């Protein structure tokens, strides 16, 4: 049996699978991802047809990127590509996001994670997550947390954590803090 050419959709699907497997366990918004075993990896790619997911996994193994244990389902990343080949959507997001962040920086604003999620709501959450992780890896964008401390009805401290996106050169400026009324309650 001849292998299909490693181009187009197969190439891009394989790159997505390798990328998520290489990232291991991580969180984006309220979703947790785990690329360390086949069952969890498959859950991550529910929007990819099973034929495409299996072809991507098998081709990643054929190309020496992944080893997937047939008995346990454990996924080992053997190597990563020297250059990632993502589809047009991920490439678009990795180009447009830094541009948008630069325009927001002109008015000293950083989008909070949920605000950014609204910006990209028309895209596949998996493509958004891969593009965000890729941009962080390549230092095209940066993040910082703001902890807002308040009291609950029992007078106990409650800490809400907000994640903000920005350009790396602006991470220390922490413009996202400006949206909180009581600056004294913030914990850096």
In tens digits, what is the pLDDT along the chain, a chain of 188 residues? Answer: 788 878 888 889 889 889 888 887 777 666 677 777 788 888 888 888 889 989 999 999 999 999 999 899 889 999 999 889 999 999 999 999 999 999 999 999 999 999 999 999 999 888 998 999 999 999 999 999 998 887 888 888 888 889 999 999 999 999 998 888 766 666 66
8-77, CATH topology level: Arc Repressor Mutant, subunit A (1.10.10)
Write out the DSSP string of 85-150. Answer: ---HHHHHHHHHHHHHHHHHHTTT---BHHHHHHHTTTS-HHHHHHHHHHHHHTTSSEEEEEEEEE
CATH number for domain 88-187, candidates 4.10.51, 1.10.10, 3.80.10, 3.30.70: 1.10.10
Domains 8-77 and 88-187 share a fold: yes
Q: Tokens for 121?
A: 């709501």
Domain ranges of the chain: 8-77, 88-187
pLDDT tens for 135-177 read: 999 999 999 999 888 788 888 888 888 999 999 999 999 999 8
* Spatial separation of the C-alpha atoms in residues 109 and 165, rounded to whole Å: 10
* Spatial separation of the C-alpha atoms in residues 59 and 15, rounded to whole Å: 10
Query: pTM of this prediction?
Result: 0.83
* Spatial separation of the C-alpha atoms in residues 162 and 176, rounded to whole Å: 9
* Spatial separation of the C-alpha atoms in residues 56 and 20, rounded to whole Å: 12
């Amino acid at each position: 049996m001849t292998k299909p050419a490693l181009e187009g959709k197969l190439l891009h699907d394989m790159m997505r699978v390798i990328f998520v497997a290489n990232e291991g366990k991580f969180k984006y918004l309220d979703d947790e991802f785990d690329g360390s075993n086949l069952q969890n990896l498959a859950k991550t790619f529910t929007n990819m047809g099973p034929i495409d997911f299996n072809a991507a996994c098998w081709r990643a193994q054929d190309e020496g990127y992944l080893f997937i244990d047939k008995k346990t389902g454990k996924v080992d990343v053997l190597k990563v590509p020297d250059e990632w080949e993502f589809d047009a959507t991920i490439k678009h997001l990795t180009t447009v996001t830094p541009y948008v962040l630069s325009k927001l920086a002109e008015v000293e604003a950083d989008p909070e994670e949920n605000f950014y999620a609204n910006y990209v709501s028309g895209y596949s959450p998996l493509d958004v997550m891969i593009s965000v992780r890729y941009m962080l890896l390549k230092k095209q964008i940066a993040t910082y947390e703001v902890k807002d401390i308040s009291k609950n009805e029992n007078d106990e401290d409650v800490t809400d954590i907000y994640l903000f996106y920005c350009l790396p050169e602006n991470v220390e400026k922490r413009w996202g803090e400006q949206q909180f009324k009581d600056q004294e309650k913030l914990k850096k």
